């Protein structure tokens, strides 16, 4: 099992979600986050006051998938989240030792 | 439900279970809630007596020194199928407590084995004597005590002798504790009955409200005032309690546990079974829920009234003396008197309730002052509303009256009671479609009407908000133009959800048509509300589905919105709409995104106004509309007039207004300066047309300052032919024009003379400015001056932010004129004591040189401070 953490543009979230649904992935955790990588923030002035946007809004998706689905999911996210501009985000993969469904204590991939 | 006198405990289990099943069957076959609760209570009583008696018999122990008491819901004989059994073991002494301990353990265990959820406490009589903060909650439950079995004399001693004195003395303490607990509970549920999936016990309007009312009445000695409790009230309460008790029984049976949440699924099932209804009419879940809310409203309203009447407060001597004085009178414009007393607003003469116009005036006053209506005033209005035989005058509301209510800083303070009293539906029948309407939705927590009113409340709460999510939006709420249109849009934006239409937005727009016709809104007003309703989801969608940091997103959004004023209203509407979905819906993240889009779009407007010019060849439809309003004037002449104005000109003026300006333009040959003065709701509006001339803007703003007018907003535009069209909104600080209508013509002539140069400005200004500058500002603000050469192809943008004061615009305008700057466009605004002025400037037809900019900065910073 692998965990996919994808930091994407908020504007791409609906497309990514729909694309994942199309390949049969409908379970995910979504978090509204802020951050920056190479895409630095900028400063807006409104009515004499400066608003510095140094941490840009992003969406973080977290999915834990069986190994067999991981590559497809990553490709799907890459395809649907990409605009080609700085700030499109990143994908992180990590191995997961165990998954347990709280309701019935099922373990392993069947708990996903 | 009588049991045999002797039943061995081993046989009791199946018999109790059979009895339970029988009660359940009776309920499912239509037995009422009252009957079901009585049966359940009898079953518990009989079982307790049997078990207790059997244990005493086996141990050959007399019950002397031990009483069994039922408390709480069980004490009041309202025992629901899976409710806890609240019991008190009352001991005569500590010795008795020690002796009976093994018996009590066995007794409790046996009851658990028989399927009763026992929640018990043990106290000696002495321990019950003292009532204080630490045990107030226990003593509230004691108010429902009922003797079950054991030592009757011991119970009577407690009831009649031990507790009567302390309970009487502790009434204020118990009452205040009850009120604290009740307030906490109501807060937990957002202080509204209108939850999509309500908890029928704990939520506002649930059975706990009824219990709280009973306790408050009991603690107040139940001195009932017949005016406060109309004869039909008890019946309404009984019906509501029966209806909600029936639901709670149904929920317990359906969930097989003490779960009181009326979920969507169980709402549908209850409606299918016509639960609590005996009129044989079939209702869908939404219709059935309306009945629920009606009953919940009865219980909630009654409880709130008792909360207010029985509030125990410690008043200072000053407050007591103030209260003894006659009410503080608030005179309205038309001489009618209202009074504020104890922080509540009421009519001084209840006979005035027969005039609906006065009621609307009272509500507008409440919205303006931020003072809630007194319960007496509400009861009076409720009485009038439910007794059509009482003659009423002026029952039809006019738009100006409604607009007054909606324009206040606290519109929700008027709209909430209007909704409770049925007055809102009277005024806006379109709102009826969403009254207590449940629409199943994963995100929404409240009924549609509650969502709409809550949205308005969130705007109102922006005044003095400490919520960081609202901090950015508070100044927008304070300064928003035409607040009445924004609030009416919020009232109507979701009414389509209650209409048989495919898209709720289309339904809401349909409702707007009827409302606008009835209220006689102007076409501009209707168009504005139409825009806000039609686009009420756009800003939220843009924030969540578009890249708001992409300039093309911003320019596309700005093009759809059109003007800064609209943007401000749409932003506030979006903020309120998201916030009212559920308490967590407006995350700090969303709030920040919304603000970013607002700022980017707002800046886009001020940075593109000069670049984005009108070309009549692209505006055939507009030309035709204006021509129709202008008695079919010459097309060529109209084209000459419009060509080259900034697009903002069209965005902020309707075809009717453009036609009026064109009429003034046509008269320029007769008089070189044309003016038009209009009285608006909170300010006057002066429009001036003239051929461009040096220092025109400075002369005009100086002339207004000389008359003591405070300019709050202004636009100055010029077309390609050099005709200047300036619109100034100003407040008549000294009421010169308001009190002396005859002065208006002289005022206009004086303005024209100053602009013409036929009347010198300096002597007029001298006295006025000297007097005005004597007042120090309330909040010190440092002047900031920014230049931007990228905002326009041919001019330099200068943004001045400074302390507002009379004559400020004149000072700036005069300085610009002195240094050879021509104003192509000016956008003037104020926010509290802050002036925010944007000028697009040229010098000798070019952008300003760096030297000129530096000079202006130095001059203006020096003079403005």
DSSP-derived secondary structure for B810-864 = HHHHHHHHHTT-EEEEEEEEEETTEEEEEEEEEBTTBPPPHHHHHHHHHHHHHHH
CB contact under 8 A, A46 and B602: yes
Interface residue A35 vs chain B (CB under 8 A): no
Nearest to B546 among A11, A34, A47 (CB): A11
Band (B375; pLDDT cuts 50, 70, 90): confident
Nearest CA-CA distance, residue B176 and chain A, Å: 42
Average pLDDT over residues A57-75: 95
Phi/psi for B680 (5° steps) reads -100, -175
- State the smallest CA–CA distance between residue B153 and chain A in angstroms: 52
Which tokens go with B318?
A: 């000053």
Q: In what order do the strands lie in the sheet with A29-35?
A: A29-35, A56-65, A2-8, A89-95
d(CA B309, CA B299): 16
DSSP string across B61-77: ---TTEEEEE-HHHHTT
Q: Nearest chain B Cα to A31, which residue?
A: B589
Question: Cβ separation of A47 and B836 shorter than 8 Å?
Answer: yes
Computed over its alpha carbons, how large is the radius of gyration of chain B? 35
Predicted local distance difference test score (pLDDT) of residue B6:
46
Confidence of residue B231 (pLDDT cuts 50, 70, 90): low
Q: Are residues B549 and A10, on separate chains, in Cβ contact within 8 Å?
A: no
State the pLDDT at residue B778.
Answer: 59
Query: Between chains, do A44 and B799 touch, taking CB under 8 Å as contact?
Result: no
| pLDDT tens-digit series, residues B678-704 | 988 778 999 999 998 888 888 999 999
Please tell me the distance in Å from B836's CA to the nearest CA on chain A: 7
User: How close B799 gets to chain A, by Cα (Å)?
Assistant: 8
* Token pair in block for residue B781: 């603000």
**pLDDT digits over B115-140, tens only?**
999 998 898 988 888 887 778 888 88
Domain made up of A2-111: CATH architecture: 2-Layer Sandwich (3.30)
B534-581 pLDDT, tens digit each: 999 999 999 988 888 888 889 999 999 999 899 999 999 999 999 999
Q: The pTM is what? A: 0.75
All residues of chain B having their beta carbon less than 8 Å from the beta carbon of residue A36 are none
Residues B757-773, mean pLDDT to the nearest whole number:
75
Residue A2, C-beta contacts closer than 8 angstroms, at least 6 positions apart: A64, A65, A67, A70, A93, A94, A95, A96
**Cβ–Cβ gap B801/A48 under 8 Å:** yes
Cα distance from B701 to chain A (closest Cα, Å)? 22
Confidence band for A39, pLDDT divided at 50, 70 and 90: low
- Closest residue to B589, CB basis, from A9, A32, A47: A32
Residues of A in contact with B541 (CB under 8 A): none
- Would you state the pLDDT for residue B28? 92
| CA nearest to B801 within chain A | A48
- d(CA A1, nearest CA chain B) in Å: 30
- Cα–Cα distance for residue pair B401/B419, rounded to 1 Å: 17
pLDDT digits (tens, 9 = 90+) for B394-436: 888 899 999 999 999 999 999 999 998 889 999 999 999 999 8
Q: In the structure encoding, which two tokens stand for residue B155, read together?
A: 């119970």
Total Cβ atoms within 10 A of residue B779:
8
Minimum CA–CA partner of A15 in chain B: B545
Q: Which residue matches tokens 């076959």? A: B29
Size of interface A-B (CB pairs under 8 A): 50
pLDDT of B3 above 90: no
Measure A23 CA to nearest chain B CA, in Å.
Answer: 22
E strand or H helix at B797: strand B796-803
- Which of residues B627 and B504 earns the better pLDDT score? B504
H helical segments located in B711-841: 736-739, 743-756, 762-772, 808-818
Contact B809, B701 (CB under 8 A): yes
Q: Could you tell me how many residues make up chain A?
A: 112
- Check residues B787 and B322 and name the one with the higher pLDDT: B787
Q: At what angle do helices B523-534 and B504-519 cross, to 10 degrees?
A: 160
Q: Kindly identify which residue of chain B lies nearest to residue A85, measuring between CA atoms.
A: B550
Position B5 scores a pLDDT of 46
- Ranking B118-122, B369-373, B767-771 by mean pLDDT, the lowest is B767-771
pLDDT of the residue at B769:
63
Other CB atoms within 10 A of residue B9 CB = 15
What does each C-alpha distance from A61 to A48, B401, B517, B774 come to in angstroms? Answer: 37, 51, 49, 61
E strand map for A1-112: 2-8, 29-35, 42-46, 49-53, 56-65, 89-95
Interface test with A, best of B442, B554, B589 (most A CBs within 10 A): B589
Percent of chain B with pLDDT over 70: 92
Output the six-digit token pair for B762. 């300096």
In 3-state terms chain B splits into helix, strand, coil percentages (rounded to 5) of 55, 15, 30
CB within 8 A of B411, min separation 6: which ones? B367, B405, B456, B459, B460, B483, B487
Tell me whether residues B545 and A46 touch, CB distance under 8 A.
no
User: Do the Cβ atoms of B444 and B582 come closer than 8 Å?
Assistant: yes
Which of A47, A58, A82, A83 to substitute to test the interface with B, most B CBs within 10 Å?
A47
Q: Which residues of B touch A87 (CB under 8 A)?
A: 549
Output B306-313 pairs: Cβ under 8 A, ≥24 positions apart: B306/B212, B306/B213, B306/B216, B306/B217, B306/B220, B307/B179, B307/B182, B307/B212, B307/B216, B308/B375, B309/B220, B309/B228, B309/B375, B310/B175, B310/B179, B310/B216, B310/B219, B310/B220, B311/B179, B312/B172, B312/B175, B312/B176, B312/B179
Phi, psi of A85 (to 5 degrees): -100, 165
What whole-number distance in Å separates Cα of residue B478 and Cα of residue B464? 10
Q: Are B299 and B241 in contact (CB under 8 A)?
A: yes
Cβ count near B76 (within 10 Å)? 17
The minimal CB distance from A45 to the residues B544, B589, B786 is found for B786
Inter-chain CB proximity B593 and A10 less than 8 Å: yes
Tokens describing residue B528: 């504005």
Q: Would you call B836 and A14 a contact, using CB atoms and an 8 Å cutoff?
A: no
CA distance B235 to B244: 14
> A36 at the B interface (CB within 8 A)?
no
**Binary contact (B600, A44; C-beta < 8 A):** yes
A57 touches chain B (CB under 8 A): yes
Mention every residue, 6+ apart, whose C-beta is less than 8 A from residue A102. Answer: none
Q: What is the sign, positive or negative, of the torsion defined by CA atoms of B331, B335, B339, B344?
A: negative
Report the alpha-carbon distance of residue B187 to residue B208 in Å, rounded.
Answer: 14
> Six-digit token pair at B126?
């002495």
Q: Give me chain B's average pLDDT, please.
A: 86
Chain A residues in contact with B593 by the CB 8 A cut-off are: 10, 57
Of A34-48, B34-48, B715-729, minimum mean pLDDT range? A34-48
- Please tell me the predicted confidence (pLDDT) of residue B149: 93
If you count them, how many residues does chain B have?
Answer: 865
CA-based radius of gyration for chain A = 17
Could you tell me which chain A residue has the CA closest to the CA of B598? Answer: A46
Q: In this predicted structure, what is the pLDDT of residue A38? A: 67
The partner residues of A2 in beta bridges, in order of sequence, read A65, A95
Chain B residues in contact with A53 by the CB 8 A cut-off are 596
What confidence score (pLDDT) does residue A105 get? 87
DSSP B634-701: -HHHHHHHHTT-BHHHHHHS-HHHHHHHHHHHHGGGT-SEEEEEEE-SSSEEEEEEEE--TTHHHHHH
Q: Establish if A40 touches chain B: CB-CB under 8 angstroms.
A: no
Query: CB-based contacts of B11: which residues, under 8 Å, 6+ apart?
Result: none
What is the pLDDT at residue B538? 94
Interface contact A94, partner B, CB < 8 A: no
pLDDT at B350 exceeding the cut of 80: no
Cβ-defined contact of A34 to B589 (cutoff 8 Å): yes
φ, ψ of residue B123 in degrees (nearest 5): -145, 145
pLDDT at B309: 62
CA distances from B323 to B326, B328, B342, B407 (A): 7, 10, 7, 30
Asked if the C-beta of A47 comes within 8 angstroms of chain B's C-beta atoms, the answer is: yes
Model pLDDT for residues B425-442, shown as the tens digit of each residue: 999 999 999 998 988 877
Is the pLDDT reported for residue B771 higher than 90? no
CA dihedral B350, B353, B359, B361 (to 10 degrees): -60
User: Cα distance from A68 to chain B (closest Cα, Å)?
Assistant: 31
Inter-chain touch A13–B786, beta carbons under 8 Å:
no
Of B99-103, B225-229, B587-591, B813-817, least confident by mean pLDDT is B225-229
Q: Which residues of A touch B600 (CB under 8 A)?
A: 44
- Is A80 within 8 Å of chain B by CB? no
β-bridge mates for residue B393, sequence order = B355
Cβ–Cβ gap A48/B799 under 8 Å: yes
Q: How confident is the model at residue B325 (pLDDT cuts 50, 70, 90)?
A: very low
pLDDT tens per residue, range B784-820: 898 988 878 888 989 898 888 878 888 899 999 899 9
ipTM tops the 0.95 cut: no
Residue B42 has pLDDT above 60, yes or no: yes
Q: Over 50: is that where the pLDDT of B317 sits?
A: no
Question: Does the distance separating the beta carbons of A10 and B544 come in below 8 Å?
Answer: yes
For A58, nearest residue in chain B (alpha carbons): B589
Please report, for chain A, the start and end positions of each structural domain, with discontinuous segments joined by +: 2-111
**What is the DSSP secondary structure assignment for residue A11, as one 8-state letter?**
G
pLDDT of residue B557: 94
Mean pLDDT of chain A: 88
Q: Is B803 helix (H, G, I), strand (E, B) or coil?
A: strand
Q: Is B389 exposed, middle or buried (0-12, 13-18, 19+ CB in 10 A)?
A: exposed
């Amino acid at each position: 099992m692998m965990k996919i953490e994808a930091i994407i543009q908020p504007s791409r979230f609906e497309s990514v979600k729909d694309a994942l649904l199309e390949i049969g992935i409908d379970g995910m955790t979504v978090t509204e986050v802020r951050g920056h990588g190479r895409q630095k923030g900028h400063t807006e002035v409104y009515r004499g006051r400066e608003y510095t946007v140094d941490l840009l809004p992003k969406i973080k998706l977290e999915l834990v998938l069986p190994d067999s689905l991981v590559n497809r999911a990553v490709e799907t996210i890459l395809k649907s989240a990409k605009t080609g501009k700085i700030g499109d985000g990143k994908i992180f993969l990590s191995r997961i030792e165990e998954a347990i469904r709280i309701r019935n204590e099922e373990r392993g991939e069947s708990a996903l | 439900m009588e049991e045999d006198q002797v039943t061995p405990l081993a046989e009791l289990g199946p018999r109790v279970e059979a009895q339970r099943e029988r009660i359940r069957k009776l309920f499912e076959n239509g037995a009422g809630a009252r009957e079901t609760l009585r049966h359940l209570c009898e079953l518990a009583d009989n079982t307790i007596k049997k078990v207790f008696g059997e244990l005493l018999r086996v141990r050959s122990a007399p019950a002397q020194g031990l009483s069994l008491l039922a408390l709480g819901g069980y004490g009041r004989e309202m025992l629901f199928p899976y409710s806890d059994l609240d019991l008190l073991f009352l001991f005569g002494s500590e010795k008795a407590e020690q002796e009976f301990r093994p018996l009590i353990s066995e007794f409790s265990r046996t009851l658990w084995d028989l399927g009763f959820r026992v929640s018990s406490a043990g106290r000696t009589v002495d321990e019950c004597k003292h009532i204080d903060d630490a045990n107030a909650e226990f003593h509230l439950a004691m108010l429902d005590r009922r003797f079950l079995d054991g030592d009757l004399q011991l119970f009577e001693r407690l009831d009649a002798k031990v507790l009567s004195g302390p309970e009487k003395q502790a009434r204020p303490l118990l009452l205040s504790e009850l009120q604290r607990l009740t307030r906490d509970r109501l807060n937990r549920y957002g202080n509204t009955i209108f939850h999509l999936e309500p908890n029928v016990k704990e939520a506002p309007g649930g059975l706990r409200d009824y219990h709280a009312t009973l306790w408050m009445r009991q603690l107040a000695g139940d001195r009932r005032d017949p005016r406060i409790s109309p004869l039909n009230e008890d019946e309404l309460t009984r019906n509501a309690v029966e209806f909600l008790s029936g639901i709670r029984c149904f929920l317990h049976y359906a969930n097989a546990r003490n779960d009181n949440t009326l979920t969507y699924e169980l709402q549908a099932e209850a409606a299918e079974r016509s639960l609590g209804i005996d009129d044989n009419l079939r209702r869908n879940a939404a219709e059935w829920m309306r009945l629920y809310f009606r009953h919940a409203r009865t219980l909630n309203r009654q409880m709130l009234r008792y909360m207010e009447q029985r509030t125990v407060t410690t008043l200072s001597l000053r407050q007591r003396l103030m209260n003894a004085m006659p009410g503080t009178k608030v005179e309205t414009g038309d001489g009618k008197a209202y009074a504020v007393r104890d922080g509540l607003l009421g009519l001084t003469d209840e006979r005035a309730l027969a005039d609906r116009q006065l009621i609307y005036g009272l509500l507008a006053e409440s919205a303006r002052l931020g003072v809630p209506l007194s319960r007496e005033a509400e009861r009076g209005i409720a009485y009038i509303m439910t007794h059509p035989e009482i003659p009423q005058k002026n029952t039809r509301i006019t738009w100006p009256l409604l607009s007054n209510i909606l324009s206040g800083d606290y519109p929700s303070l008027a709209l909430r009671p209007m909704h409770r009293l049925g007055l809102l539906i009277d005024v806006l029948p379109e709102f009826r479609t969403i009254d207590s309407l449940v629409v199943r939705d994963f995100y929404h927590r409240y009924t549609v009407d509650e969502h709409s009113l809550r949205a308005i409340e969130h705007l109102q709460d922006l005044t003095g908000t400490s919520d960081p999510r609202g901090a950015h939006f508070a100044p927008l709420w304070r300064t928003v133009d035409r607040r009445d249109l924004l609030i009416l849009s919020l009232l109507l934006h979701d009414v389509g959800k209650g209409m048989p239409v495919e898209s709720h937005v289309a339904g809401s727009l349909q409702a707007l048509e009827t409302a606008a016709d009835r209220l006689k809104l102007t076409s501009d007003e209707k168009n504005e509300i139409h825009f806000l309703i039609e686009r009420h989801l756009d800003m939220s969608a843009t924030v969540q589905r578009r890249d708001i940091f992409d300039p093309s997103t911003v320019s596309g959004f700005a093009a759809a919105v059109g003007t800064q004023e609209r943007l401000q209203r749409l932003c506030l509407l979006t903020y309120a709409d998201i916030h009212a979905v559920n308490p967590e819906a407006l995350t700090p993240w969303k709030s920040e995104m919304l603000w970013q889009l607002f700022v980017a779009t707002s800046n886009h407007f001020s940075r593109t106004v000069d670049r984005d010019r009108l070309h009549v060849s692209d505006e055939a439809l507009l030309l035709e509309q204006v021509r129709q309003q202008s008695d079919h004037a010459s097309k060529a002449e109209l084209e000459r007039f419009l060509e080259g104005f900034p697009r903002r000109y069209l965005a902020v003026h309707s075809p009717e207004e453009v036609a009026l300006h064109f009429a003034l333009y046509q008269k320029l040959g007769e008089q070189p300066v044309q003016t038009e003065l209009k009285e608006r709701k909170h300010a006057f509006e002066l429009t001036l047309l003239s051929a461009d001339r040096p220092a025109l803007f400075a002369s005009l703003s100086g002339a207004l300052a000389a008359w003591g007018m405070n300019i709050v907003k202004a636009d100055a535009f010029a077309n390609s032919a050099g005709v200047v069209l300036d619109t100034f909104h100003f407040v008549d600080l000294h009421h010169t024009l308001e009190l002396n209508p005859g002065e208006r013509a002289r005022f206009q002539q004086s303005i024209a003379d100053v602009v013409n140069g036929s009347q010198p400005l300096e002597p007029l200004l001298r006295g006025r400015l000297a007097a005005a500058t004597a007042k120090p500002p309330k909040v010190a603000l440092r002047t900031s001056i920014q230049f931007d050469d990228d905002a326009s192809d041919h001019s330099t943008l200068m943004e001045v932010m400074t302390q507002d004061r009379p004559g400020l615009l004149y000072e700036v305008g005069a300085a610009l004129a002195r240094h050879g700057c021509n104003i192509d466009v000016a956008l003037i605004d104020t926010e509290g004591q802050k002036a925010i002025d944007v000028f697009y400037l040229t010098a000798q037809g070019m952008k300003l040189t760096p030297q000129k900019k530096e000079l202006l900065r130095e001059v203006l910073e020096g003079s403005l401070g």
